[in-house]
Amino acid sequence: MSKTAKLKAYIRTYGCQMNERDSEVIAGLLVQHGCEMVDDGERADIYILNTCSVREHAEDRVRGKVNLLSLKKGSGGKPLIALCGCMAQAHGGRLLRALPGLDVVCGTHRIPYLPAMIEESLETGAKVVDVSDDHPHQAPLRRGIRKSRVKAWVSIMRGCDNFCSYCIVPYVRGREVSRRPGDIVHEVEGLAGRGYREITLLGQNVNSYRGGASEDGDLCDFVRLLKMVNGITGLSRIRFVTSHPKDVSGGLPGAISRMEKVCEHIHLPVQSGSNTVLRRMNRNYTGERYAEIVEKLREEVPGIAVTTDIIAGFPGETAREFDDTVSLMEEILFDGAYIFKYSERPHTAAAGMEDTVPMGLKKERLRKLIDLQMGISRKKNRALIGRSVEVLAEGESPKDPSMLIGRTRGNRVAVFPGESADAGRIVSLMVEDANATTLYCRKAERKRRITNDQ
């Protein structure tokens, strides 16, 4: 009998949707090995931290959590502490010296072997580390225990070839590998058949997707993949994330506009409005080119929501370069933005650049950009008051279980009265109030029943 059989396992996920999806896969693998997944880390025999390395702050939080868990270890050594994901890949076995309470360190490419590593540690009491970059077969990565019964993430590719100068991802997730289009379509058909209404196609840079050769011998690009997925019966919505501006093809705006299931939203990280900073970031576009892409998207897809990522205080960022970012934000008027201060990451080109922006100034610039965006988002959301929006009900609002939460096609969060049985339905809502992050709605007349057999 497996050493993990009947043990309770808990997964704490840090970072992006790619990690959320990996955690679903890990949960599926552990259940196959006889574990019971629990929602409360306090009850866990096996505590897994699926980590993020994109910012130093994320790593600091993980270190703090491991130290806390280590203090709680009982005489039987429980919980076993396993650390996987990008931080494991970035630091490998060195983590065992820094965090002696750790039992298992599992790299991003070794996820299918995590249960075996945990078993080995339980059986021998030894610390187990595997961060090799041999790519395991992709098949096990399709499975998993999905968190939502309404919407699902579908990985279409792993890794990244871009080497933006601040980013650790290519070093911890490896080079770009696209899944075969037929495998993706098969997975989405299965999800649609089981009642999932919305899928998000996931990749570090989905617009550079190049799937295996199709019947006519051509590689399948992202627009073609969207077309294939759009044809799947039973599905209501398709999203995709993340898009790199340099790879957005001329055909993408038309595809979003034509394909009824593809939601009118694009997450298009700009990172900076300054051409000199963009050059130092190795982003391969200018602020002008970025604005052109957004203009074309807005022309061809009226009402499309455009969200972005921005870094404040990149090494050497002058006052003028910072002002260029402010100007670009005022010009584009993003619907939302994730804004962070620059965080130096090992291995990256930017780590070797002279960082002339003091921490105090980085924080000040961060605050200024966040305040600017909050004002824009609030204004845009409040402009929707009195208008109707289509929302996919996802379930109870975590803040108020008497209300439901869902998202508009433009990915805005909507809160509205309803019952948990409504989860999985697409509802027509009237916006009554709004702030920078949330639309407060009531039900309008039209309602469409959507069944979900999960």
Binding site for ligand SF4 (CB under 6 A): 160, 162-164, 167, 169-170, 204-205, 244
- Report how far residue 244's alpha carbon sits from residue 222's, in angstroms, rounded to the nearest whole number: 12
Least distance in angstroms from the C-beta of 340 to ligand SF4: 12
- Report how far residue 90's alpha carbon sits from residue 168's, in angstroms, rounded to the nearest whole number: 8
Instruction: CB nearer to ligand SF4: give 347 or 446.
Output: 347
Partners of 308 in beta bridges: 337
Q: Determine whether 91 is exposed, middle or buried from the number of CB atoms within 10 Å of its CB (0-12, 13-18, 19+).
A: buried
For 165, what's the count of Cα atoms within 13 Å in the CB-facing half-sphere? 19
**283, 246 in Cβ contact below 8 A?**
yes
| Nearest of 287, 276, 366, 283 to residue 316 by alpha carbon | 276
**142, 185 in Cβ contact below 8 A?**
no
Instruction: CB nearer to ligand SF4: give 205 or 411.
Output: 205
Least distance in angstroms from the C-beta of 392 to ligand SF4: 27
Q: DSSP string spanning 151-204?
A: EEEEE-EE--S---TT--HHHHH-S-EEPPHHHHHHHHHHHHHTT--EEEEE-T
Instruction: CB nearer to ligand SF4: give 167 or 202.
Output: 167
Least distance in angstroms from the C-beta of 271 to ligand SF4: 8
| Residues sharing a CB contact under 8 Å with residue 133, sequence separation 6 or more, in sequence order | 107, 109, 174
**54, 15 in Cβ contact below 8 A?**
yes
Instruction: CB nearer to ligand SF4: give 133 or 218.
Output: 133
Least distance in angstroms from the C-beta of 205 to ligand SF4: 5
Least distance in angstroms from the C-beta of 286 to ligand SF4: 16
Instruction: CB nearer to ligand SF4: give 50 or 243.
Output: 243
Instruction: CB nearer to ligand SF4: give 162 or 236.
Output: 162
Instruction: CB nearer to ligand SF4: give 351 or 385.
Output: 351
| Nearest of 376, 453, 444 to residue 414 by alpha carbon | 444
